[in-house]
Amino acid sequence: MSKAVVYTLLATATIIFFKFLSPLKHEEQKGSFNRRFGYKILERAPTFDPIVTKIEREVEQIKQQQKIEFHNNKVVIPGVDLGSTTSVYNVAETYQFLTSGGKLNTTLRLMILFPLLDRETKDGFIVFNELESWIAQRSLERLDYSTQTELESKDEDGDLSLSFREYLPHLTENDIEKNEMTHGEAGWWRERFDIADSDHNGLLNFTELRDFLHPEDSKNPEMLKWMIRDRFKRIDDQEIKGKLNFNEFEDHVYSTYENYMDFETNGVDVPKANDKFAELDVNKDQFITPEELLPILPYLYPGELAYAKYYTCYLMNEADDNEDKQLTLEEMLNHEFIFYNTVYADGHEESDDDHDEL
Ligand SMILES: *[C@@H]1O[C@H](CO)[C@@H](O)[C@H](O)[C@H]1NC(C)=O
Ligand SMILES: *[C@@H]1O[C@H](CO)[C@@H](O)[C@H](O)[C@H]1NC(C)=O
Ligand SMILES: [Ca+2]
Ligand SMILES: [Ca+2]
Ligand SMILES: [Ca+2]
């Protein structure tokens, strides 16, 4: 493979990474779409086009390779012998979709993707569910990929699972003995680890590790409850004893819920704080327990799938010109930009502190 090809690819990726950093600028907003909220969704949205994901990963690999070669003193400047890249296949595959200017031909890409999305009823229209299932698929792939990467980078003994030690090798015996439960300390990690380890064998396999890394996307109810308890603990201006009274609910939980509901229902169907409180408080003791909060969890700590839904709403909202709640190829091509307009959070390493509320 020639250097020119790969440089072009690198340039493409750079353009995708940096040029699109200001989303929403190029499109007029419609309806009750909330700008701050829109940013949040775009930050978390998956990449619409798998080929872009491939390019990103390619670039990531090249960077890693560069780092290794740099450490071995083989490379002095950030130029690489790209003949050494392993996934030539991906590059070649990408190459056919580039314009003569070396950018990804997004028109061509959307024409290719359209029939893949239009699959529940092949009628030339993409309805909400078709778009959502496509995006959810991208989201889940990303989740699996980041889990796999983490697993591979830490699995010292190659048994395809992580021990607590493998995950946190820097902890000293003393740290572990002290078992400090404050957020981010050994005991806190230990508890999170043990809850994710659903078969209690002391190791996290792929599924358990994914729950551990992304509790908000977990299907393990214990993991979800742990996450809520943990967030409750970190509401520090009040004495919250593991459950919320109405004021705490209103101050720390409701506004987040309200934002998402507002977005999802276009402002039409947003319950009032006291009504929602009464509904969630199943045993009517005037407190909301972590368990009682589970039904609205996707609104409080949206995971990949919740964001997939919001991102679908966003794309529909932006591209459905005739407002018939479905997208034609023409409508998508009219709004090409928004489908290639994700803001790249760095590898989507979800930090535990990037939620506004709670
Ligand atoms: C992108 O692909 C389409 C469809 O093949 C083609 O008509 C168009 O000229 C291409 N655009 C560029 C800039 O190469
Ligand atoms: C991991 O272990 C759990 C049991 O805790 C099991 O249900 C799951 O299928 C396993 N996942 C993999 C990828 O082996
Ligand atoms: Ca291991
Ligand atoms: Ca296990
Ligand atoms: Ca339409």
Token digits for 130?
């078709």
Token digits for 178?
């002290």
Check residue 223 and give its pLDDT. Answer: 96
Check residue 352 and give its pLDDT. Answer: 42
199 CB near ligand 2 (under 6 Å): yes
99 CB near ligand 1 (under 6 Å): yes
Check residue 240 and give its pLDDT. Answer: 61
Check residue 285 and give its pLDDT. Answer: 95
**Residue of 208, 209, 211 with the most ligand 2 atoms within 8 Å of its CB, for mutation:** 208
| For the CA of 198, the nearest atom of ligand 2 | 5
Check residue 342 and give its pLDDT. Answer: 57
* Mean pLDDT in consecutive groups of 10 residues from the start of the chain, 358 residues: 43 39 39 63 89 85 79 53 40 73 88 96 96 97 96 96 96 92 93 98 98 95 92 67 87 90 84 96 94 91 91 93 97 94 44 44
Check residue 61 and give its pLDDT. Answer: 81
Residue nearest to atom 8 of ligand 2 (CA): 207
The span from the CA of 245 to the CA of 16, in Å, is: 46
The span from the CA of 300 to the CA of 349, in Å, is: 19
Check residue 55 and give its pLDDT. Answer: 82
105 CB near ligand 1 (under 6 Å): yes
205 CB near ligand 2 (under 6 Å): yes
Counting Cα atoms < 13 Å in the Cβ hemisphere of 104 gives 29
| For the CA of 205, the nearest atom of ligand 2 | 1
| For the CA of 100, the nearest atom of ligand 1 | 14
112 CB near ligand 1 (under 6 Å): no
Check residue 5 and give its pLDDT. Answer: 42
**317 neighbors 30 (Cβ within 8 angstroms):** yes
Distance 46 CA to ligand 5 centre (A): 23
Assign 130 to helix, strand or coil. helix
Q: Which residues keep their CB under 5 angstroms from ion ligand 5?
A: 320, 322, 324
Check residue 28 and give its pLDDT. Answer: 40
The span from the CA of 256 to the CA of 182, in Å, is: 25
